[in-house]
Amino acid sequence: MGIRKTLSEALDPSLRTGHGLSKANTLVVILICLSITLGIAETEVALTDGFELYYEVAHLIFFVIFLAEYLARVYSAPENPRYRSSIDYALTPSSILDLLVLVSFVLPFIGLEGALLRMFRAARLVRLANMGRYSLALQMIYHAMNERRYELGVSIVIAFSLMLLASTALFLAERTVQPEAFGSIPRAMWWSVATLTTVGYGDIVPLTIIGRIAAGLTAVTGVGLIALPTGILAGAFTEGLTKARNHK
């Protein structure tokens, strides 16, 4: 067995015949999690003061490992019938994402901030998991949402309409009393979003009687509104699980 074929079977989840991720991809996932943890810890001053050199060395080690993994994927890509050449694979979105991750490691060393690009590391976990043993769960979620897309679309329209009506009602009732918070419909939308989602920050509250009545109706309606898409998705997931069990 050639080196390219060995690398492709170890790194390309779509070519794996066994269940779950290969040992190589499992190691990659662990390293990604460690690098994300390092990036999160790096944002806390109390965890970085006096340890800057260690963080730089750790980032350099991760960069070398992920660069080797990226080059190995590009080199072994032609073993997969979907890719005509290594360049064909290198131009795919997942490969470009990997390249952006590598760039994110280099930017801090040349004086540029790479915190935003580092968050692309998490997306690699999704790409690997989607083709590994978690693919069944992700596919079930996708099919459930796809089968209920019309019902979800209707619930979104209803939610937006209710949010607009609530914002308009509070604008009419509170605009003269609280012009900074309810002086326009767009301003009132912040309150309606917080109320309809049952978050209720409490930073803005109606003061007039009409405003409070409208707020009460909005809050009660919001409870049912949040339950609507939840029930739709729950029913879709139940059907998906039943189909999967029947298929087995």
pLDDT in tens, 81-130: 888 889 998 888 878 878 887 877 776 666 555 555 555 555 444 545 44
Q: Above 50 in pLDDT, residue 66?
A: yes
What per-residue confidence (pLDDT) applies to 209?
93
> What's phi and psi for 83, nearest 5 deg?
-115, 125
Distance CA 161, CA 163 (A): 5
Q: Write down all domains in the chain, each with its CATH number in brackets.
A: 3-133 (1.20.120.350), 145-247 (1.10.287.70)
What per-residue confidence (pLDDT) applies to 133?
42
This prediction's pTM: 0.58
Kindly report the average pLDDT of the chain as a whole number.
79
Q: Above 80 in pLDDT, residue 166?
A: yes
- Which DSSP state fits 183? S
Average pLDDT over residues 32-61: 82
| CA nearest to 70, candidates 95, 100, 105, 93 | 95
| CA nearest to 63, candidates 117, 132, 14 | 117
pLDDT digits (tens, 9 = 90+) for 10-19: 888 777 766 6
Classify residue 70 as left (phi > 0), alpha (psi -120 to 50) or beta. Answer: alpha
Q: Above 50 in pLDDT, residue 153?
A: yes
Write the burial class of residue 110 (CB in 10 Å: 0-12 exposed, 13-18 middle, 19+ buried): exposed
pLDDT digits (tens, 9 = 90+) for 170-227: 999 998 999 888 989 888 899 898 888 878 787 888 999 998 999 899 888 888 777 7
Confidence of residue 72 (pLDDT cuts 50, 70, 90): very high
